[in-house]
Amino acid sequence: MDDFPARLRAIADLQASEMREGAGRHEYDGRISDLSPDAVRSGLARLGLGEPFPDPHDEAHATAAEEALRVELGELELHRSNPLWHIGELDLSVYDKDYAPAGERDEARLRHLAAWPDAVDNAVAALDRVSAPVAGALLSSVRGLAAAVPADAPGDVREAALAAHRRFTAHIEAAARDGAPSAALGGAALARLMGTAEAAAVDLGRLAELADAERDRLTERMAEAAARIDPSRAPLDLARELVRDHPDADGVLTEARRWTEHSIAFTRERDLVPYHDGECAVGVAPESARWGTAMMSWAAPAEADAPAHYYVTPPEPDWEPAEAAEWLEVFSATTLPAISVHEVAPGHFSHSRALRRAPGAVRRTLFSYAFIEGWAHYAEELCVDEGFGGYAERAVGDPRFTAAHFEVGVWLEALIRVTRLAAAIGVHTGAMSVEDAAARFAADTVLAGPAALSEARRASFDPTYGRYTWGKLEILGLRDRAKERWGAGYTTRRFHAAMLDLGAPPLGLLGTAVDRG
């Protein structure tokens, strides 16, 4: 850990939770970044102090990370308006990950818990601009932090932490009641927020046009695939019926394991990524991570190698039958294959194996989440093009599952993600209300009612959640450039290896892959 450059240390000190979870920098275990206004100003002043990195690409990558923090915490002061920054720092879920012996992780969890009172004091001091929509959307996440407090923690530590949690919750409840009615950042702020982290200039009007065009393309692909299943049905009506064919709660793990095996075998057979090693286990998400239906927890670059975990979350036993059935639609025979390709291979799990080999501390520490999610989303469409549907159809041997079913699942997921991009731009520029965004989800995807409204509300506190589609479109554009530049020397594996050698680069720096590949 002593070889960590000062430039990276200054970045890491402002986001300890990100360093622990994503990069595996466990010197930050038991520590919480001080996000009080004075401490943030001090931390920002340390950014950029130190030697430039020898590789021009790495220097540009690090500079983008520094500039992003200056925008997020300096210009926009998001630590004053968005509780997510503080929720992430309080979160204890990383200690459920088996990166070290259980006793060592338990000790770190208790140190972290003991720091909650000061961290909450800092959060309450900072969060003086929280809008009512953002506070309301995040209240369940704030309240859920208490579930990770160990019942067997020393009494004084536990009680102090829970008292701090009550103060934090009360502060966010007050904002939900009394905060400003609009969460809109404004177009200029959103463009800065999206662009600086990606070393790119963002034209929101042009990006909105691309989102509309992508929505239209995906709708056509959906119609083509759906017609091969039942040409008499409207595509989204057919899709809504298909997602109701799902395993019961006990069968979710079995199906996730089956699709994990298929996705890894297919990716290896087609040699789609540079590395095919490592182990991917499938299991039920730990309690602290059950807010999501499916997720990947990988062995981070700075950690000792260990199995990655593809976590799925079946419904809880005490849920009402209708609620459980709606949750299980995510794991339908139509959608779970696409989700598994995204989470496992050639998606996040395959990417994690390359991240561990990325050259240099910058690429193993600083990640563009637009690239991470863009890559995994690109992997879904890649598998359509490479014939995973037919491969899986032969492997499964079930007449209810065909290549067309896999494709419908891919396009369903893609339509939700492109609608996120349109909703984020619309909500934060004022072109859409949250209700307008919910209506677009209902019109363009299988989501309806509360599910559509929940996706729309996410735009308020996660303004860059269009990153899946944006990242995918940038990768597809780069692929066209690579084919043109490399000519007969182009291969899919060469293109992927050149990109993944950069780690998880800002989208604006992806051209290095073509220049050096």
Give pLDDT tens digits for 470-500.
999 999 999 999 999 999 999 999 999 999 9
Residues in the chain: 517
Dihedral angle, C-alpha 215, 220, 225, 227, nearest 10 °: 130
pLDDT tens profile 298-309: 999 999 999 999
Same domain, 285 and 410: yes
| Domain of residue 47, residue span | 6-183
Residue 289 binned pLDDT confidence (cut-offs 50, 70, 90): low
Same domain, 132 and 220: no
Number of domains composing the chain: 2
Same domain, 18 and 118: yes
Same domain, 179 and 245: no
Phi, psi of 462 (to 5 degrees): -130, 70
Tokens of 386: 């490479």
The mean pLDDT value for 255-273 works out to: 96
| pLDDT of residue 120 exceeding 70 | yes
Q: How far apart are alpha carbons 314 and 212 in whole angstroms?
A: 34
Residue located via tokens 């700075």: 302
In sequence order, which residues have a C-beta less than 8 Å from that of residue 209 and are 6 or more positions away?
Answer: none
pLDDT tens profile 35-74: 999 999 999 999 999 999 999 999 999 999 999 999 999 9
Residue 323 binned pLDDT confidence (cut-offs 50, 70, 90): confident
Look at residue 43 in the predicted model and tell me its pLDDT: 98
Q: Quick check: 92 and 148 in contact, CB under 8 A?
A: yes
Look at residue 1 in the predicted model and tell me its pLDDT: 42
Same domain, 140 and 234: no
Q: How far apart are alpha carbons 226 and 230 in whole angstroms?
A: 6
Same domain, 381 and 413: yes
Same domain, 171 and 213: no
Same domain, 295 and 418: yes
Q: Can you give the pTM of this predicted structure?
A: 0.96
The mean pLDDT value for 424-442 works out to: 96
DSSP string, 321-354: HHHHHHHHGGG-TTTHHHHHHHHTSSSHHHHHHH
pLDDT tens profile 201-222: 999 999 999 999 999 999 999 9
The β-bridge partners of 294 are 312
| pLDDT of residue 11 exceeding 90 | yes
Nearest Cα residue to 338 out of 282, 376, 394: 376
Of 119, 150, 183, the residue at which a domain comes to its end is 183
Q: Quick check: 514 and 481 in contact, CB under 8 A?
A: yes
pLDDT tens profile 334-370: 999 999 999 999 999 999 999 999 999 999 999 999 9
Q: How far apart are alpha carbons 464 and 376 in whole angstroms?
A: 16
